[in-house]
Chains A and B, each alone.
Chain A
Amino acid sequence: GAGVSQSPSNKVTEKGKDVELRCDPISGHTALYWYRQSLGQGLEFLIYFQGNSAPDKSGLPSDRFSAERTGGSVSTLTIQRTQQEDSAVYLCASSSLAGQDTQYFGPGTRLTVL
């Protein structure tokens, strides 16, 4: 398929463990976004990548959260020392032009921290 893909689709982990979530954007899209959706809530912006520019990390809730994007394509969101309040659906989106184009979302990763 040509859409945004994310893996894993579901992740259950124990409190205190580290997790890595992966996003593969639409081919050719230069902008990539991570959002978090807690139960019954709208989406909360986490971080944004555009090409080789420094990422906009203004939405990351704590220093336990980090993300990288290798080769301008695939991105990994890492949560260290997970807490129960980190349980949410993590959604990735990509767009062809930063800030000027529609964001297309992946299916998300549902993270459950026990």
Chain B
Amino acid sequence: AQKITQTQPGMFVQEKEAVTLDCTYDTSDPSYGLFWYKQPSSGEMIFLIYQGSYDQQNATEGRYSLNFQKARKSANLVISASQLGDSAMYFCAMREGRGANNLFFGTGTRLTVIP
């Protein structure tokens, strides 16, 4: 089974609107971390937001928030007030267990912001 599933290959959003990018994960380890990265056309992976499995509150970073639903094993990214510069690929990733050495990535969602 896939560790990280992103079911939206592409999404469109109107500038200044909010958009939700979906991510579900699969793990039996009670300790894990969830990450979202943005990859613009330049190719660099830019860290956006992190949610730990034991965190009681949803993570927020500026216009980014993570809708963490532990029972559903989902970690959706919400981008508020979309900007043209938000157009990029977005990857959800998971670090499984304490001291894990690597991240498992989803296949990504391409977000296009329409002016």
Contact surface of A with B, Cβ cutoff 8 Å:
33, 35, 40-45, 48, 50, 56, 59, 89, 91, 93, 98-100, 102-108, 110
Contact surface of B with A, Cβ cutoff 8 Å:
4, 35, 37, 42-47, 50, 91, 93, 95, 97-108
- Does the CB pair A98–B99 fall under 8 Å? yes
Q: Using Cβ atoms and an 8 Å threshold, which residues of chain B touch A107?
A: 42-44
Instruction: Tell me the minimal C-beta distance from A96 to chain B in angstroms.
Output: 13
Closest to A31 in B: B101
In angstroms, Cα B37 to Cα A44, docked, is: 14
In angstroms, Cα B99 to Cα A75, docked, is: 21
Query: What secondary structure prevails in chain B residues at the interface with A?
Result: loop
- Does the CB pair A93–B45 fall under 8 Å? yes
- Does the CB pair B91–A43 fall under 8 Å? yes
Contact of B102 among A42, A59, A91, A108 (CB under 8 A): A59
Instruction: Tell me the minimal C-beta distance from B33 to chain A in angstroms.
Output: 9
Instruction: State whether A42 and B91 are in contact (beta carbons under 8 Å apart), knowing that A91-B45, A103-B47, A107-B42 are contacts in the complex.
Output: yes
Q: Using Cβ atoms and an 8 Å threshold, which residues of chain B touch A98?
A: 99, 101
Contact of A41 among B4, B42, B93, B107 (CB under 8 A): B107
Instruction: Tell me the minimal C-beta distance from B112 to chain A in angstroms.
Output: 16
Sampled A-B contacts (23; CB under 8 Å) = A33-B101, A33-B103, A35-B105, A41-B107, A42-B105, A43-B45, A43-B93, A43-B103, A43-B105, A45-B103, A56-B101, A59-B102, A89-B43, A93-B45, A98-B99, A99-B98, A100-B98, A102-B35, A102-B47, A103-B47, A104-B47, A105-B45, A107-B43
